[in-house]
Each structure stands twice: as C-alpha cells, then as structure tokens.
C-alpha cells in the first residue's frame, strides 16, 4: 500500500477545494479514487511482433487461484501460447525462481500491467497529479515512441503549466527527472491488481551472445519488510549471466536493492542447466540460497525460502528490447512520497542490462 501518496493526494484535494491551488487541472484525479480496471485493449495487440517460445497453450495456467485474475490470465496465454518459432537460446539457462513462502505479491506480465494502468503525471509543490491516459487505453508503442507528453509547471508559486514538455521516451520517472525531480510520469493500477498473476507469468530477456543474458522479472507490487519505507507498486527485478567466449555462462550476478554481487557459475545451485534463484519475500530481490536474515541497508532484513516454483523456461520469454513498450522512461507504479516508494524505472536505456562485472564484489 502506498499510503503516503494517497495521503498526499487527499491533502492536495482538500487544498484545491479550499481554493489554495490556483490554476490546476485534473482535480478529479486528486480525490484518492481508485483507478478502475482496464478492459478495452486486446491482449494480442500488446503481444504482436514478440518473439515467442514453446508454451503449450493447453497447459494449466498455474495453481495460484485467487491470485490469478481472468484478464491477466488471458493476456499471458495469448501473449505466449500461439508459438511456432524456434526456442531462443536463453531458454536453456532460464532460472528456476523460488518465490518466498507466503509472499502474496506475485509476478505478472508487463503487458497486463500496462493494460490495467492509467498514465499519470505527478506535479510538485502541492499541485495535483493529472491523468494523461485512462486505464485500458494506453498504447504501449506510444509509450515507446514518446508520443505521450506533458508540460511541467511554470514555476512557483501556482500550478500553471509553463515549463519544459516531457515525453514518455525520456527519463521521466518521478524523482529521476533531471530538471525537476519532483515531477514525472508514471503508470498506476488499481490496488486490487497489485497481487499479480502467478508463476505462469512471462519473463523478459536481454541477450547479447558472448556477453550477457539478463533475465528481467516483473511483479505487481513491492511489499517491504518493516519499517516499510520502500513499499512501491510495480517491481522490476533481474539476474544477469555473464557469457564467455564459448557463449556459456561463467558468472551470475544477483541484483538486490542497491547492491549487486556475483557468483561463479560453478558455485550457483542449478537444476540441470537452470540456475536456482530465491526471490525475497515481498521485495523480490534475488539471492542464491535460503536464509531468513539477509541484511538490508535500513535495518530491515530480507527472507528467502522455497515457496512457489517459477520455472521460467516453461513460460513465455520475450526479448525485452523488442517489446512494444521498451523505451518508456517513466515509473512503473504509483508515485509515492520519495524515490523508494515510487514505481521503478523498467528495463530501458536508463537502467542498463548488465552489471559492470569488474566493479561488483563476489557474493558473500
């Protein structure tokens, strides 16, 4: 739950009703009302042109009943089921991801998230957020092309537009906007959809032969352990495999919050050719073993355990740079009161696809 953002919205709405926020528009979105679920966009329009791997469409979609909502299930199936293309090389090394026992924040597809989301702009200085595109109406290719635009504020005081015009292809996530870090663009879904879909969700891959193979995972929500300062809607995670001159992995990089470390391929647990990854409860940071007290920077701990198994070689896996939305530089999730409680940047030129292997420590 992003309570801080909700509280902020309500406060702004109250201010606006008292006439304290001059010249602002879009106040209807500042009432704290939830974004309705999207229904209008055909899933196959989102998935068109995607590379596909061999998913048997008749297979059961997963056992997480109650956490699989119908629209998402349909999208995930349509996105990956009509498969005839050759299996991509990376599928051989796609990880087994153990979700943590009891974690109700499941993976989901990025395409479903976009289909359910509204696109919004966050203004600073108490000026209300604005809706740019209603839920169900976002065109992923327009996110990519920069076709969604918004003008910043004209300067304090007041809420009139007048600053620079920003596009969805820029680095426009709130708190990352270089010129005005408190403004920015973000996707927002209804809280009811944050639970995600389940272990039939697709994965996204950046593969460069003899360089790296990065597996991206998307979840509907990040539910931080106490003191809960980093809860945020939308959660992108990843691991990266370094590929040697023979194009086989020799290292695995584990991304966990603001730190990354590596293990040799030899020392990583595997099932067959698939590395085994443990997704931390609620935060989904990637670890290499079961442990109940991984230290976090702000005093909390991550925990990993063997919950549901996400066998990512059995689900659709997409070349991430070919996704229709790739190039979007805004937030994937509701804006919060600070950068850690705001939807993250997704896979993009703004985030990179592999670590600097020479500058990260060995995992300890």
Angle (CA) 250-204-140 rounded to 5° is 150
Give the residue among 69, 141, 81 at the shortest CA–CA distance from 106: 69
Q: Which is nearer to Zn ion, 78 or 130 (CB)?
A: 130
Of residues 130 and 302, the one with the C-beta less far from Zn ion: 130
Min separation Cβ 333 and Zn ion, Å:
19
Q: How many CA atoms lie within 13 A of 95 on its CB side?
A: 31
Q: Smaller CB distance to Zn ion: residue 130 or 237?
A: 130
- Name which of 83 and 131 has its Cβ closer to Zn ion: 131
Asked whether position 183 contacts Zn ion by CB under 5 A, the answer is no
Closest residue to bound Zn ion by CB: 130
**Rounded-to-integer distance, Cα 109 and Cα 224, Å:** 21
Stretch that binds Zn ion, among 130-138, 176-184, 220-228, 247-255 (CB under 5 A): 130-138
**Alpha-carbon gap, residue 352 to 260, rounded angstroms:** 13
Q: Pick from 363, 35, 307, 80: which is nearest to 200 by CA? A: 80
Sheet holding 232-243: strands in order across?
259-264, 249-256, 232-243, 212-222, 203-208, 317-319
Cβ pair 153, 124 in contact under 8 A:
yes
The nearer residue to Zn ion, 130 or 334, going by C-beta atoms, is 130
Query: Please, which residue, 186 or 288, has the CB nearer to Zn ion?
Result: 186
Binding mask 43-82 for Zn ion (x = CB under 5 A): ----------------------------------------
DSSP state of 178: S
Task: Say how many residues touch Zn ion, by CB under 5 A.
Answer: 1
The stretch among 1-9, 124-132, 187-195, 265-273 that binds Zn ion (CB under 5 A) is 124-132
Q: In the complex with Zn ion, which residue's Cβ is closer, 130 or 235?
A: 130
295: tokens are 């230290």
Stretch that binds Zn ion, among 122-130, 186-194, 219-227, 277-285 (CB under 5 A): 122-130
The nearest distance, CB 273 to Zn ion, in angstroms, is 50
Q: Which stretch binds Zn ion (CB under 5 A): 31-39, 128-136, 173-181, 243-251?
A: 128-136
96, 312 contact by CB (below 8 A): yes
Q: How many helices (H) and strands (E) does the chain have?
A: 5, 19
Applying CB under 5 A, which part among 51-59, 123-131, 135-143, 321-329 lies near Zn ion?
123-131
> Nearer Cβ to Zn ion, position 103 or 130?
130
State which of residues 72, 78, 130, 233 lies at the interface with Zn ion (CB under 5 A).
130
- Euclidean distance between CA atoms 203 and 217, whole angstroms: 6
Q: Which of 328, 4, 12 is nearest to 173 (CA)?
A: 328
Q: Which residues bind Zn ion (CB under 5 A)?
A: 130
């Amino acid at each position: 739950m992003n309570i801080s953002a909700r509280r902020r919205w309500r406060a702004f709405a109250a201010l606006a009703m008292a006439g304290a926020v001059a010249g602002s528009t879009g106040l209807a979105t500042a009432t704290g009302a939830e974004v309705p679920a999207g229904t209008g966009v055909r899933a196959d329009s989102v998935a068109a042109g995607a590379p596909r791997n061999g998913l048997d469409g008749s297979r059961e979609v997963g056992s997480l009943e109650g956490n699989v909502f119908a629209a998402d299930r349909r999208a995930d199936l349509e996105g990956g089921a009509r498969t005839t293309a050759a299996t991509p090389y990376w599928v051989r090394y796609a990880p087994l991801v153990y979700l943590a026992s009891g974690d109700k924040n499941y993976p989901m597809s990025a395409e479903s998230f976009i289909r359910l989301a509204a696109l919004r702009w966050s203004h600073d200085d108490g000026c209300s957020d604005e809706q740019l595109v209603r839920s169900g109406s976002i065109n992923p290719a327009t996110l990519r092309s920069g076709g969604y635009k918004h003008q910043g504020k004209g300067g304090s005081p007041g809420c009139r537009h007048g600053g620079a015009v920003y596009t969805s292809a820029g680095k426009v996530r709130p708190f990352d906007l270089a010129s005005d870090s408190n403004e920015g663009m973000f996707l927002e879904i209804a809280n009811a959809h944050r639970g995600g879909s389940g272990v039939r969700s697709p994965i996204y891959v950046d593969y460069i032969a003899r360089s790296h193979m990065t597996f991206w995972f998307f979840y509907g929500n990040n539910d931080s352990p106490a003191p809960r300062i980093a809860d945020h809607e939308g959660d992108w995670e990843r691991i990266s495999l370094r590929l040697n001159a023979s194009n086989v992995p020799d290292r695995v990089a584990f991304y966990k919050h603001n730190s990354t470390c590596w293990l040799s391929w030899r020392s990583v647990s595997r099932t067959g050719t698939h590395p085994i990854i443990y997704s931390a409860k609620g935060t989904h940071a990637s670890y290499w073993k079961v442990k109940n007290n991984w230290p976090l920077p702000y005093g909390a701990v991550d925990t990993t355990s063997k919950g549901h198994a996400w066998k990512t070689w059995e689900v659709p896996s997409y070349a991430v740079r070919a996704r229709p939305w790739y190039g979007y530089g805004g937030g994937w999730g509701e804006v919060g009161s600070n950068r850690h409680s705001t939807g993250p940047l997704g896979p993009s030129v703004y985030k990179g696809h592999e670590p600097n292997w020479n500058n990260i420590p060995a995992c300890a």
